[in-house]
Amino acid sequence: MSAEATNPEAAPTDVTVRRRGRARIDLRRLGRAALLNATAGPAPRDRLPDAISHVAEAHRAHHPEADLTVLGRAYALAESSHRGQFRKSGEPYITHPLAVTLILAELGAETTTLTASLLHDTVEDTEVTLDQVRREFGDEVAYLVDGVTKVEKIDYGAAAEPETFRKMLVATGSDVRVMSIKLADRLHNMRTLGVMRPEKQARIAKVTRDVLIPLAERLGVQALKTELEDLVFAILHPEEYETTRALVADHPGAAEELGAVAEQVTAVLREAGIGAEVLVRPRHFVSVHRVRLKRGELRGCDFGRLLVLVAEDADCYGVLGELHTCFTPVISEFKDFIAAPKFNLYQSLHTAIAAPDGAVAEVLIRTHRMHKVAEAGVVALGNPHVGQEPDGPLQGPEDGERVDPTRPGWLSRLLDWQQSAPDPDTFWTSLRADLAEDDEITVFHADGSAPGTISLPAGASCVDAAYAQHGEAAHACLGARVNGRLAPLSTVLGDGDTVQLLLAQDTASGPSPEWLDHARTPAARIAITDWLRAHPESAAPPAPTDPRPQPSVPADRRSGAELHADLDGEPPAAVRPAGCCTPVPPDEITGFRVRGGSVTVHRARCSAVDTMRGLGREPVTVRWGDTARGRVTLVAESFGRPGLLADLTEAIATFGAAVVSANVEPPTEQRVRHTYTLQLPDAAGLAALMKAMRDVPGVYDVSRARHSRGLG
């Protein structure tokens, strides 16, 4: 099955090798064969039933030495258990597991996967039990069948669909073959969706678009993904689909134009002594639609791409060199997914060349092994628990370790955060959001001498990295170093960045509501939301001031210190400390009336006091209340060095001060400016706190903030 399978009306042209594709099997004929097989009695022991001869042929093409006996037994059980059941289209139900198994066989799935595929609906829809499957076919087959079996709707109600996907994903975490069967199952159902009501078609297509297609992309199964995209496109966007189909039909000579370029490429490579096969690969409908939106009017070569298959990795770069030497390359189209493979196993060189007549053709260059993985993804890996079969494309370790390169990345993240989303609606919404991310990055974290890696979706920030590495302990994160430089938690990370996350020693501290603006991963968003829900006071806005007359009005409660204003019988007002100098007891203070009738309190030596007097504002007598607590903003000037932020926050925590907010400006000439807004348990200890901060190595000055916040 082609990774860029198009409609039957626009079949790909093979320039230098034989066509490898197979015609789609007539399912009605399979259904009749199944019925004949049932009425004729069981097949002789020395041959398979005729109904699965197509499956056997496809399977033997990839695994010549495979033992087909178990497939015969699985088919016999599936056929007998589904006997008398029919699909909405009228075919015997057995045609469905047969078609699903054929899809997987064409992709190169090994025998265990095909056995489970034949039986995948027996436990859900017939009297066959999971224990019976386990007794007759073993634990592996039973695990795969159980993984794709839906949960009972009578038990879960409206939550049955999300809980079924949760169950499948958890099972996929231990064996990716579970999702391979599910994807093939959905592909066949989408192929035959025309018998459903339009509203049900749309509902199934939307779930396929939002969940199954992204999963196929992440598992690297491009052959399934591209056909699913076209089927969804036809249902959800029928007008655009018909426009695209007509556009393809109006360019019947597109394959010939690409074929002419392919012949030139073949001649160049033959002259260079590079053994290669050059294929013309028509784009599927969704791909044509995207190219049309990107480029506008399409030319013949835009309806497909060239695929060059070679024997060795080094030959890929040899082909690239010849193409860029003998043709005019389009440099902006070059991508090297061999040196830097995609997170879904995909490897190829992408380039584009301009032929002498001006036609531009996109070219994919890969080895035969890369091509098989690009087509089938994890299906090509076979059994993830043991070493690969001798005829498999990938060799597994000899010690029995699992062979599953998808597990450390997106799948691990998904399995982690789904445990924190017990609510089906939260899980379903988060799953769709997580799968909507199109790409993945890898960042390195370094804690002392133990660097490691974190896989995150593209666009993730330091907040996401914190929760990916530390879980709920990330609630106490104060900042980060990105590539050795201090950076705010909102910093968006790039592929290959090194991140050092800085945590406060006070585990009682929690995230700010603003973190949700920077969190891209469900794990981070769920953890932050849960903490804020459990601590509503942290996200609540300040209480409105009481308009009723009072002899004095306390300051903004966030400052912690009481302030009172003597207004000589005039209407009272709110009293709050000025942000420019953040006075705390026992500072000498003075106040001024500002807009709205409130009173802003400054330190007596604040520059804003002179400005206010110059504007003719009369000072208001203000005084401290009984409490000694207060909020203050401190500025630390220092030389940049590793561990500086951690040492400063440790000095602050030693005095029991809580960090309300912190800001680290970009270094200038190796000097760093830190600004902290602190909640002090006792304002009398401010001087000692400032001295302790000055004693931190590298810090050469600590002062009270003197920036202007405006004059009200």
Which sequence positions are flagged as catalytic? Answer: 124-125
What's the rounded Cα separation, in Å, for the pair 562 and 576?
9
Structure tokens at 612: 């206010």
| DSSP state at residue 92 | B
Number of H helices, E strands in the chain: 27, 20
Tell me the Cα Rg of the chain.
33
Where do we find the tokens 């806005």?
A: 541
What's the rounded Cα separation, in Å, for the pair 620 and 634?
26
Could you tell me whether strands 349-354 and 335-336 are parallel, antiparallel, or unpaired per DSSP bridges? antiparallel
What's the rounded Cα separation, in Å, for the pair 560 and 573?
18
Paired residues of 676 in beta bridges: 634, 662
CB crowding 443-453: b at 16 or more within 10 Å, else e: bebeeeeeeee
3-class SS of residue 678: strand
CB crowding 189-223: b at 16 or more within 10 Å, else e: bbebbeebeeeebeebbebbbbbbbbbbbbbbbbb
What's the rounded Cα separation, in Å, for the pair 212 and 645?
44
Q: Name the nearest CA neighbour of 499 among 446, 450, 430.
A: 446
Please, are residues 213 and 231 in contact by the beta-carbon 8 Å criterion? no
| DSSP state at residue 331 | G
3-class SS of residue 569: coil
Structure tokens at 435: 């799968």
3-class SS of residue 443: strand
